Structure 1
Amino acid sequence: MTVITINLLPHRELKRAQRRRDFYVLSGLFAGAGAAIVLLVGAIISGYVAVQQSRNEFIKQENAALDKQIAEVAQLKQEIDALRERQQAVENLQTDRNIPVYLFTELVNQVPEGIYLRSFKQEGLKVTLTGLAQSNERVSELLRNLANNSSYIEKPNLIEIKVSQQQSRRGSRLFDFSLDMLLKRPVVEAPEKPGAAKKRSVPVTPAAQ
């Protein structure tokens, strides 16, 4: 005997409920997958940002170190320049000590006859002379000698010349004059470096006649 089973439950409602459950499950799966993807992408971006920040910090530290080195180099350059200036000042002082000797030697050699020096004043490298001359020509000769024949005097300049109230022993008139000039520092040759090769003079053999 065959038993016939009759489903009295509403099958449409059951299918609809099943589809609703399937939709919720799939929605949850998609939402979970989307959240996982967002978290993964966020983690990757955060990693890139952290690496870039680390690089930026490294570059910042290196720039700070370079700035410090540049400041030290600039300070060393200033110290070297100051030492060079001091060395030059010392060399100038040593050279200037001999300038009066050069000046007196030049005056002895360049002052012509008929010129009588009375005083001179030195301010740095500028020297002012005053004296008596037998004529204007003697003063002109003195200026030419100082300008052309002296190795330590340059730019002689006549300041004033006028008839003096004094007279020579013979009763001829004299001329008061004053002039200034500049002294040239002798050129100090730099010492040869150790081990520098010295130049040798090669004798020339005369050609056979």
Structure 2
Amino acid sequence: MKLIQINLLPYREMEEQKKKKKFQLIMAAGALAGIGACAAIYLGLTGLMVNQESRNESLQAGIKELDKQLTEIKELNKQKQSFLARKLKVEELDHKRFEGAYIIDTLNQLVPEGAYLAKIQATAATGKNSNTYSITGKAISDNKVAMLMTALPSTGIFEAPKLISIKKTDNGQEFVLEADLVEQKVASQPTEPAVAAASQSKGN
């Protein structure tokens, strides 16, 4: 009885081919998966970089805008300081004008009959108080000058009057007085004391 011989070599080769193909498919799939993962990572990193660059550009734009606003604020502050300086200067000039008008009005009420004032000015001599005023005028006698000096403190505006000079002229006595201005009382001191003193002086 003869045995049937079966050649298994082709079958084995087919199995090996299947295994190789399966392995190749697995490797290809792994390679594709790796490539896909790398691509995903690359795209993710690229997206992050793009987003970061976009944020950086936004930050730079914001910084430029802030710098612009700071420059504008500095310019506005300069304009504000300039305006305040002009405002203070105007207020100072207004105060000086009011002060001058008030002083002249008070002195005009204070001067006794037989005397008149020729010039009033603030002195700036070395060692003098900046609120010291020089008062120049003429009077028919020394007595009128003395009356004026006595009446000056009653105004509440001037204090410590001093006779600087007095000399005879063809039509009377020319005199120069100095008195300190009580500055804080210029705006508030009423003129009644001056009027009363002037009336008393004129009565004499």
TM-score (normalizing by structure 1): 0.51
1:62 CA displacement:
3.0
Residue pairs, 1:1-209, within 5 angstroms: 4-7=5-8, 19=19, 22-90=22-90, 92-93=92-93, 96-97=96-97, 99-110=99-110, 121-123=121-123, 126-129=131-134, 134=146, 139=150, 142-143=152-153, 145-147=154-156, 153=157, 156-158=158-160, 178-183=178-183
TM-aligned CA distance change 1:111 to 1:20, over 3 Å: farther
Unaligned runs of 5+ in 1: 148-152, 167-175, 188-209
CA distance in 2, matches of 1:84, 1:90: 10
How far apart, CA to CA, are the structure 2 residues paired with 1:82 and 1:179?
A: 36
CA contact (8 A) 1:112 1:142 kept: no
Once the two structures are aligned, what percentage of the paired residues are identical? Answer: 21
Deviation track 1:165-190 (CA, whole Å, cap 9, x = no partner) reads 99xxxxxxxxx974311556769xxx
- Residues matched between the structures, number: 164
One-letter code of the match for 1:142?
A: L
Q: What secondary structure is seen at the aligned counterpart in 1 of 2:109?
A: helix
Instruction: Report if the CA contact (8 A) 1:120-1:127 is conserved.
Output: no
- C-alpha deviation, 1:158, in angstroms: 2.9
Distance in 1, Cα, partners of 2:66 & 2:166:
76
- Contact kept? 1:126, 1:183, Cα under 8 Å: yes
Cα distance in 2, alignment partners of residues 87 and 111 from structure 1: 36
CA distance in 1, matches of 2:16, 2:120: 128
Looking at structure 1, the residues matched to 30 and 7 of structure 2 have their Cα atoms a distance apart, in angstroms, of 39
Q: Which residue identity is paired with 2:40?
A: L
Residues 66 and 97 (structure 1), Cα distance of their counterparts in 2 relative to 1, 3 Å cut: same
Q: 1:130 to 1:18 in 2, by over 3 A?
A: same
Contact 1:158–1:179 (8 Å) recurs in 2 = yes
CA RMSD of aligned residues (A): 4.8
Cα distance, 1:36 vs structure 2: 0.9
Question: More helix per residue: 1 or 2?
Answer: 2
Segments of structure 2 that go 5 or more residues without pairing to the other structure are: 125-129, 137-141, 168-175, 189-204
Alpha-carbon distance, 1:68 to partner: 1.0
Larger RCO (alpha carbons 8 Å, 6+ apart):
2
How far apart, in 1, do the equivalents of 2:107 and 2:88 lie? 28
